[in-house]
Structure 1
């Protein structure tokens, strides 16, 4: 298996784009609380990716959904995520004012915000899950499947590093720098989304390839 799945996942998850949200939600947290939030969010991101890789195809079979249809739908979802990123928004979800306020309220109450909303849906959500399932179908050996799960470890580590250095990143890059990086990742994701949709359409309508 090549590095394309890892590049795609890095583009979708894009921990840099979550830095402002992390800083917002963890205002007033102690160093220990912040560290716990970082570890929980990173581990949860890995669990989502690993579960999708190992169980995603079985769920598709259970619901009777063909992979070609899933590729087209997943590609459309990736393209929507790419458009979000081109507008300097997180790939997985646009947060409304009410949701931001709710997250801040949870933080103020000392409730864990590591799983919701940081990991789900901001870091990993439908677009991430769709991508992992699509690449899991292309894994023809156990080693390739384990490699895909291993990419989840890489994503988790990247998330942990970005969130741990959130204050430094925000100071060095600033909001403008983070937005530029997010838009660049959005361009990459848009190209990958078109490729995924094209493969699905060719499977559904073989005549298109003639």
Structure 2
């Protein structure tokens, strides 16, 4: 039961970080004037990109940390700070440079594969989401192979939400409006801020066991 609760918590945190609702305006702007079939194809590409990037992070994150000789405690503190900065931007209903820089936003016009770059990466599966998955992979079931497999469940759930939200992006935008989307973003930012502080606290306890 504890494992399923942990998986649910990971799913909520990852969904808040990816924040597909906040990406709706960018998706609509990038696909403006496109036929519904083309938008649907792009939404599927975005979802597939998010799934592949986060799955790769889940299975190779520990090795990457070992390669650079970075402890999980240090990574949790650094990743927590990164997620906290993202949460602050969400609370202000602003697009964080962590997710997408102005230069990357311009590339939406210049590139045909907008579903991969920049919509998939870095808008949704950006540094914050990747950091969160690496931390979760290390903590869940002590990072064993079965734990990595089970970690695919929250990644898959978030991917399906991304696909559904972008597929219905125009309808959602009309129903909620910009104010509604901002409210959803702020609520996710509040949840994310609390989880970021918890991640930082756990990282500090890893670095300084006497704090526990």
Shift of 1:24: 0.3
Structure 2 unmatched runs, 5+ = none
Q: Does 1:30 align with 2:35?
A: yes
Q: 1:4 aligns with which of 9, 13, 29?
A: 9
Q: For residues 19-46 of structure 1, give each alpha carbon's deviation from its aligned partner in whole angstroms, at most 9, with x where no partner exists.
A: 0110000012122221211111000100
Aligned residue pairs total: 204
Mapped pair 1:131 → 2:168: no
Report the alpha carbon displacement of residue 88 of structure 1 after superposing the two structures with TM: 1.1
1:183 maps to which of 183, 186, 191? 186
Could you tell me how far 1:95 is from its partner in structure 2? Answer: 4.2
Name the counterpart of 2:171: 168
Kept in 2, the 8 Å contact 1:37–1:113? The answer is yes
Q: Distance in 2 between matches of 1:105 and 1:73?
A: 33
Cα distance between partner residues in 2 of 1:205 and 1:9: 27
**Structure 1 position 61, deviation (Å):** 0.7
The aligned residue for residue 64 of structure 2 is 59
| Residue segments in structure 1 that go unaligned for 5+ positions in a row | none
Residue 101 of structure 1 deviates from its aligned partner by: 3.5
Tell me the distance in 2 between the aligned counterparts of 1:64 and 1:93.
26
* Aligned equivalents of 1:138, 1:100: Cα separation in 2: 34
Q: Residue 93 in 1 paired to residue 99 in 2?
A: yes
1:91-136 superposed Cα distances (whole Å, 9 cap, x missing partner): 652542x543331243xxxx12011110111101111111001110
The answer (yes or no) to whether the contact 1:52–1:133 under 8 Å persists in 2 is yes
Deviations 1:33-77 (A, max 9, x none): 212111110001001111111110011111111000000000000
Pick which of 86-95 and 175-184 moved more.
Answer: 86-95
For each residue in 1:127-179, what CA deviation from the matched residue of structure 2 results, as whole angstroms up to 9, or x when unmatched? 11110011101122433321211211111110010001011100100000000
Please tell me the root mean square deviation across aligned C-alpha atoms, in Å.
Answer: 1.5
Q: Does 1:122 align with 2:127?
A: no
TM-score by length of 1: 0.92
Q: In the superposition, relative to structure 1, how do residues 126 and 99 fare at CA in structure 2: closer, same or farther (>3 Å)?
A: closer
1:48 equivalent to 2:53? Answer yes
